[in-house]
A and B are shown apart, each in its own frame.
Chain A
Amino acid sequence: MGLKSKDLVGIKALDAADIEQILDTAAGFKDVLGRDIKKVPALRGKTTVNLFYEPSTRTRTSFELAAKRLSTDVINFSVSTSSVVKGESLRDTALTIQALGADFIVVRHSCSGVAHFLADNLASSVLNAGDGTNEHPTQALLDLFTIREKKGVIRGLEVAIVGDILHSRVAKSNIYALKKMGAGVRLIGPPTLVPDVLKDLDVEIYSDMEKGLKDADIVMMLRIQVERQGKGFFPTTVEYFRNWGLTPERLARAKKSALVMHPGPMNRGVEIASDVADGMRSVILDQVTNGLAVRMAVLYLLAGVKE
């Protein structure tokens, strides 16, 4: 019992038992969230610092609320109003925050490997809230939690991940997690965004969405970053939607019981049609609620790791 590392840097470093333990613990927290009094005293006296070098509302808010519901004090360190603009290095900023007594540092950064770097350099627990194109472990954990909650199992399911896999840390964490838990993974998208080398991850690759979605149990859509338009990955967002947008007709290729997921924020009419996003099979808002329970579980379990 208990996690092995003081940090949650990525799914890659976890094994199936760790993932299972986090999901089981999150189930306990989910029922705390259903009560009138949603706060528990478990981590009273601890301090959580949100260190976000990239814009984020949902992940930051979710971590903040999760930390508060566990009774930790939360500080949101906003990079734009900090010494970072005066040229302070990442390491110095992090050491300063640690010296203030932070027990948990939640970090998001546009460079891959930042969470790993901080984890190695700090005694505080580091939680990766997204590093470059590397990993976004809590998103994958909340996705798995949602799948398990709705489907009962993860092993044996066919999960189709659609979109910009190449630049997506959400996709990467999900691929690692789903494979570790015994699910089949298919990646769907234009070859520029879903290159063949990804086959090394033991997944199937499709550029034809109709084929890729056939009999899938889960359809996981990724956000198409509009900034990528005009960089040679795909011609226009309109064309992207025509080929890889999730429409009700395309969704009909998947199993009748298939769930539609999206990590948010959604671009309606680019990667997903509104009818699908708001449809019966969408669990997009469940994902947000479950994110809170999963992040509470991770904070709680990391607090128990003694090194």
Chain B
Amino acid sequence: MAAFRIPKGIPVSKVLLNKEDIGRIITRMAHEIIEKNKGVSSLCLIGIQRGGVHLAGRLAARLEEIGRRNIPVGALDIALYRDDITVRKEQPVVRRTEVAFEINNEKVVLVDDVLFTGRSIRAAMDAVMDLGRPSAIQLAVLVDRGHRELPIKADFVGKNVPTSIDETVKVEFEEDGLEDRVVLEWV
């Protein structure tokens, strides 16, 4: 009998995290953020478009439950700060940056779904600096998949997932009409 072969070109995937896992992780990360910052005062969350925005909203909701205090949440578009604009095949879509609060002297927690090369985070830090001068910037990510190209490290990590470079990590959210889950795909 011939050995089973995966046909070429068909993506194969594995669910890394499901809805319950993600819920538990967000609760844990919220507690970690509070622990590190000794509370939630002068704390604000800024999600990176698009996945990070959903995640920031949920983290903020948990933080508000635990800290009993309103947490400002914003959305950051980094398209105009990317370092690969002139080498990409297509221009990244420009989305809105909505940060309707002062970030001067506040602690900003940047939130993204997947931490990969670190280049998005570098762009995001530049974008944040153009909005003001926060007292600190921290980084929270749902998945850290490795392969950093810049010296960047997350302060809060949902799950560390060692990956190979040709795999992709897809994060899907209910907010986009999908089921909450994190999927590892490879071709």
Residue ranges of A at the interface with B (Cβ–Cβ < 8 Å):
1-2, 24-25, 27-29, 31-32, 35-37, 39-43, 45-46, 70, 297, 300-301, 303-304, 306
CB distance from B73 to the nearest CB of A (A): 16
When the two chains form the complex, which single residue of B85, B89, B90 contacts A43, counting CB atoms closer than 8 Å?
B85
B98: chain A residues at CB < 8 Å are 31
A304 touches B88 (CB 8 A): yes
Mark B154-182 against chain A: 1 for CB-CB distance below 8 A, else 0: 00000000000000000000000000000
Which B residues touch A35, using CB under 8 A?
130-131
Contact B94 A303 (CB under 8 A): no
Report the separation of the CA atoms of residues A303 and B96 in the bound assembly, to the nearest whole angstrom.
Answer: 20
B81 located at the interface, meaning its Cβ lies under 8 Å from any Cβ of chain A in the complex? yes
Which chain B residues numbered 89 to 112 have a C-beta less than 8 Å away from chain A?
A: 89-91, 93-98
Known: A28-B77, A28-B95, A32-B80. A40 touches B90 (CB 8 A): no
Across the interface, which residues of B come within 8 angstroms of A31, CB to CB?
96-98
- Neighbour of B80 across the interface among A2, A40, A46, A301, CB < 8 A: A40
Q: In the complex, are the beta carbons of B94 and A25 less than 8 A apart?
A: yes
Return A296 CB to nearest CB of chain B, in Å.
9
Q: B96 — which chain A residues lie within 8 A by C-beta?
A: 27-28, 31
Decide: B79 and A41 in contact? CB cutoff 8 A: no
- A42: chain B residues at CB < 8 Å are 79-82, 85
Set of chain B residues within 8 Å of A28, measured between Cβ atoms:
77, 79, 94-97
Q: Please, which residues of chain B bring their CB within 8 A of the CB of A45? A: 86
8 A-B pairs with CB atoms under 8 Å apart are A24-B93, A28-B79, A35-B130, A41-B126, A45-B86, A301-B91, A304-B90, A304-B91
Q: How far is the CA of A42 from the CA of B93 in the complex (A)?
A: 12
Q: Is the interface of A mostly helix, strand, loop or mixed?
A: loop
CB distance from B123 to the nearest CB of A (A): 9
17 more CB-based (< 8 A) A-B contacts, given A36-B131, A70-B80: A1-B90, A1-B91, A24-B94, A28-B94, A28-B97, A31-B96, A32-B80, A32-B97, A36-B132, A37-B130, A41-B81, A42-B79, A297-B94, A303-B86, A303-B91, A304-B88, A304-B91
Q: Are A306 and B77 in contact (CB under 8 A)?
A: no
Residues of B within 8 A of A301 (CB): 91
CA gap between A303 and B84 in the complex, in Å: 12
Q: Are B91 and A40 in contact (CB under 8 A)?
A: no
CA distance A25 to B95 in the complex (A): 7
A2 with B90, Cβ < 8 A, contacts A37-B130, A41-B126 known: yes
Q: Are A303 and B93 in contact (CB under 8 A)?
A: no
Q: What 1/0 flags go to B55-91 for Cβ under 8 Å of A? A: 0000000000000000000000101111001101111
Task: Please provide the 10 A-B residue pairs with the shortest distance between their CB atoms, ordered closest to farther.
Answer: A304-B91, A28-B94, A40-B80, A42-B80, A37-B130, A2-B90, A25-B94, A1-B90, A31-B96, A28-B96
Nearest Cβ in chain A — how far from B117, in angstroms? 18
In angstroms, how far is the closest chain A Cβ from the Cβ of B118?
Answer: 17
Cβ of A297: which chain B residues have Cβ within 8 Å of it? 94
Chain B nearest Cβ from A198, distance in angstroms: 36
B80 contacts A41, C-beta separation under 8 Å = yes
From A37, A40, A70, name the one whose CB has the most chain B CB atoms within 10 angstroms: A40
Bound form: Cα–Cα A35–B85 in Å: 22
In the assembled complex, which residues on chain A have CB atoms less than 8 Å from the CB atom of B80? Answer: 32, 40-42, 70, 300
B130 touches A303 (CB 8 A): no
Cβ contacts under 8 Å, A24 to chain B: 93-94
Tell me the smallest distance from the CB of A79 to a CB of chain B, in Å: 30
